[in-house]
Structure 1
């Protein structure tokens, strides 16, 4: 497979196993988006509390941080196709139970936490499998296709989820979410070939907790992956605008329609950025551009402090989303390629947890800062902080790359594992 950056993204669909992963992902994302809307409607309708509604929405994300650290090692201890299948089937159970009428809200929240936690080993197993399914440059193209499809599905899901919940009931929507997990599991079972479980590094199995600790230590002691994790974790600075879309629109004197347009700007930029980066940037140049693009992604946010109009703000947020997605996608690809296949599951899980945690901390900090300085100023400060952190990460990545080029054997191993 050549490294021509102008090669079409659609080449990945010639790989049968990738088609299965892609279809299963779309089914799950559509179900999850529907469930988020349904839960918001269900919880707010029963409590009349915005705090309860926001808390239920947060629970669709936050447990993934804990799950990524504690459960992602499962993907390295069992056959990865079976891990994905088991997670899909098991997640359907709490999704279906949440649809039971009159179920106490604490029980609903507990079931939601279980459902989200079970997603962590699924994500880890899929991330570890993908480089084997898509060899060479096809891997980056596959990541771009998944990124574009996921962002598009989220946009459509939020736009249509409310209509579907209104047409049926929140309980029916949750049952549809449960059905989506089962359907995705069928696609995984039929579409992926059965691979043996990864062999332990020392030739014998070890305890789950030892694997978890070793996975964290392994990343922390590797300069390349440590720099990449730092770069992906600070992505939270660049998603603060999405969290502050409503107060920012109010600051500009805009109505509710503007909030939806502002929230759509970043995902739209993400779709375009993923396509442009893989379509036109040659594969051999992408790793070297990670740090530069990460720094550049914060620059458009610096101008938000001027409080431009709606259209200009959307352009700025889209540019930031376009650049941040490009660097994040390549950082993830470089991270996976630099990780031995036998431990990719737990490594991917830990890195994914870092991304989610970074977003959560940044959004919370951005909200607190917005209360003190105003949304526009808070977004500008977040962009500036992102530039500072990205610069530090870029320097670390450059130094690690210089060290890698001085050790040819490391490059050979990385390519074999990728």
Structure 2
């Protein structure tokens, strides 16, 4: 059984873990600073929202178009290059009086560059953490990311108040440069994955990938409670403190799920059941919402859903490592991350529109049912494909 102690003894993992934490913290600080810069100069809520959206939306395009760089070039070099580029772009944003169109361009390019960084990092982790250590490392990474995101927003607010937005943006640039330095010093270079491609016919993972991406996309249904926490709290008659508790339920569950996934990590041949069971169960606590006696029960059920969703996502990424050849791992991992990312925004918008018609409680229950149906369908596709491959030699 692997645990956090085992992965923290791996020097290269510690470097990649620290590099990502620095980058995520810097991103959160920058989001606070950029929102304040634009609102201070324009007094426009719409333009401020546009600026915030530009720190997310281009990552979808980057994930589709640029993830393949993590297979074509050495992954350590991709991580370092993208960090240096993002550091320079973040520093340029700190220039006083920068025209807004240029500021938005810099934000968009910086966000695009995050895609190959993420793809290279996710593809490199299985080499650094072989076997069961990979799932344990992903669990620790999930917990750290949740904590750093919250801390980054808090630190960003304090830093901007104390020093001004320009210094905060320079601080973001420093986190990227520090991340690159850590990787250069502590992660050893490896050749590009495609340069070491094994001879022979490529593995056929196409039908399985349909199921993999379906499992990734269904996370959007499972984060709907976080997006509808405010209207749910209002309908339940609880105040702003209640909204905070409800919004924190999924992240708290995610932390516990990351811990559990690390404690139970194993790496047999990827099986759909190990992913499908927690994935299907994750939707049921949301489906039970209308039957619960009050919002505090709902918070507990949402936390259970968040924990189960984290367990299945970590196992899903371990399954991808087993199923996908190394020379395609970066592309698939990067696009998987993009699928996770974009599905959340789409599902929350759709659930918000539905909540306007039927109420947030019912909208959340519908999301839970769709998540369970998606999980069962994806599992059936995966299982059917696995069975056909097992029978193929006898045909």
Root mean square deviation of aligned Cα: 2.4
Tell whether 2:113 aligns with 1:129: no
- Structure 1 Cα separation of the partners of residues 312 and 352 of structure 2: 25
Tell whether 2:166 aligns with 1:171: yes
Contact between 2:34 and 2:52, CA under 8 Å: does it hold in 1?
yes
Tell whether 2:22 aligns with 1:22: no
Contact between 2:219 and 2:371, CA under 8 Å: does it hold in 1?
yes
Deviations 1:142-200 (A, max 9, x none): 11111111112112223443233222222221111111000000001101101112235
- Aligned residue in 2 for 1:357: 342
Task: Compute the displacement of 1:93 (Å).
Answer: 1.8
Tell whether 2:255 aligns with 1:234: no
Give SS of 1:298's match: helix
- Structure 2 Cα separation of the partners of residues 100 and 166 of structure 1: 18
> How do 1:19-418 and structure 2 match up within 5 A?
19-200=14-195, 222-280=206-264, 282-284=266-268, 287=271, 288-306=273-291, 308-406=293-391
Contact between 1:155 and 1:267, CA under 8 Å: does it hold in 2?
no
Contact between 2:284 and 2:368, CA under 8 Å: does it hold in 1?
yes
Contact between 2:89 and 2:110, CA under 8 Å: does it hold in 1?
yes
**Distance change >3 Å, CA 59–CA 307, structure 1 → 2:** farther
Give SS of 2:194's match: coil
Task: Give the structure-1-normalised TM-score.
Answer: 0.87
Task: Give the structure-2-normalised TM-score.
Answer: 0.92
- Structure 1 Cα separation of the partners of residues 74 and 233 of structure 2: 48
Task: Compute the displacement of 1:407 (Å).
Answer: 6.6
Which structure 1 residue ranges, 5 or more long, are not aligned? 205-214, 409-418
**Distance change >3 Å, CA 244–CA 285, structure 1 → 2:** farther
Deviations 1:351-394 (A, max 9, x none): 22221221121121112112222222221111111111111112
Q: Which moved more, 1:140-149 or 1:166-175?
A: 166-175
Which structure 2 residue ranges, 5 or more long, are not aligned? none
Contact between 1:62 and 1:356, CA under 8 Å: does it hold in 2?
no
Q: Which moved more, 1:55-64 or 1:267-276?
A: 55-64
Task: Compute the displacement of 1:285 (Å).
Answer: 9.1
Contact between 1:225 and 1:338, CA under 8 Å: does it hold in 2?
no
- Aligned residue in 2 for 1:212: none
**Distance change >3 Å, CA 286–CA 141, structure 1 → 2:** farther
Give SS of 1:390's match: helix
Contact between 2:131 and 2:266, CA under 8 Å: does it hold in 1?
no
Contact between 2:17 and 2:141, CA under 8 Å: does it hold in 1?
yes
- Structure 2 Cα separation of the partners of residues 30 and 399 of structure 1: 42
Deviations 1:94-113 (A, max 9, x none): 21222222223332222111
- Structure 1 Cα separation of the partners of residues 93 and 360 of structure 2: 36
Deviations 1:46-78 (A, max 9, x none): 333333233222222211111011111111121
- Structure 2 Cα separation of the partners of residues 95 and 265 of structure 1: 32
**Distance change >3 Å, CA 356–CA 154, structure 1 → 2:** same
